[in-house]
Structure 1
């Protein structure tokens, strides 16, 4: 059924992909809860508690909690924070903020991983453009997840989409990854690249596609806490992610949320089951 791949890349059977979709549903439902909870006065630690309760209530385990010592069940990154923000009681959201929420869950040994960026209250026009550009670049990358394409096609599509939408910084130090029985697996998925380059994509691969776009330059740095990544120039950032399986019928979005239903149908991709 499946073609041979790089031996380091884990290939999944249809039954295993179905189990990954169940983990993805836990993540999707949790992100929906978190989106509805985002408002002025809420702390990122409040959101973390909601996420942990949702994940554990579904019989799953937060992927992030304890991962290399990380203390949260989600990554909560506000404004200039790009990724890996640690949930804190003193990090309180205010009107006009942006918050990127990255969420992972393990269900029956299989991982789901997804991220959204949400405006707190009414989004500023420039923030709305940033969010739209980043999310659209994610969908552009996912569209390349078809057997016979190359990994470089994914990065080229993400970078090309961001370039076409304005002067956004495409973060290069971090990217997507393989996912399955572990959260981070081979291959690393760059958010830039050259078409026709990289390993061949084959049926059964599962990849997390996650562009990070900055309103300013692409350059970032890590804070002294050893986790939080911020933009070097202080500009705001956005982060979107879906876990996706490569199938003969097209990309199967394993962490699809109800709000993605129309987009997936419009693109003619496999129905992940909502």
Structure 2
């Protein structure tokens, strides 16, 4: 009997689902940088930092799987399949996503796909744009005497009446990701359920990049303001009194503290 020799099966690879932050590679975590350094394959999004990927992942094959509004060259099931396919061939696959993988990033779907295929997988949290982008525009999501809570909501699809009512009554700061196209529905909906028409609103486009731009208005004017300014995605919308603390970067610390104290005193007087 003749025995046939076959090539041994390649060792099973692994996957890392890494958050790339809001787009500035200076905001990549040390763990994300290490994952890229040891990657064999990197699947990256359009909102993930990718200008220096060839340098950060010098031995990796770089695959753009970025989904753009109305244009999905690789759908989510296809991305899941690519992760599994390359890992089964023995590769260290890094799935580099914008922001944090678990904040509207569908990272959990990719993790579940790896689990189903028996692929070892770890998640590297990223700096979420819901916090980093307002901060880059000088807007704190919480501030003593103004608000002690914030809510992050996806504006990818219109909110229903129950969601709008709960958001309006909850108070605090509302952060809307992917909300440029649904803002004409969200803003009047919040007003309809009791949020004050004069509530300040900021739209921060291309946050944490050299092209960052902020448009500020009120709940009753922001849709027109956004149209006039030609606001476009990607952008983060912030709704709440903390928007009044926004600044262009030329205010001194003393001026900012004074402004916050005056705003807090005004709000306290109004509450009584």
TM value normalised by structure 1: 0.32
User: Between Structure 1 and Structure 2, whose CA radius of gyration is higher?
Assistant: 2
Determine which structure has the larger strand proportion and give its number.
1
TM value normalised by structure 2: 0.32
Determine which structure has the larger helix proportion and give its number.
2
- Structure with higher RCO (Cα < 8 A, 6+ apart): 1
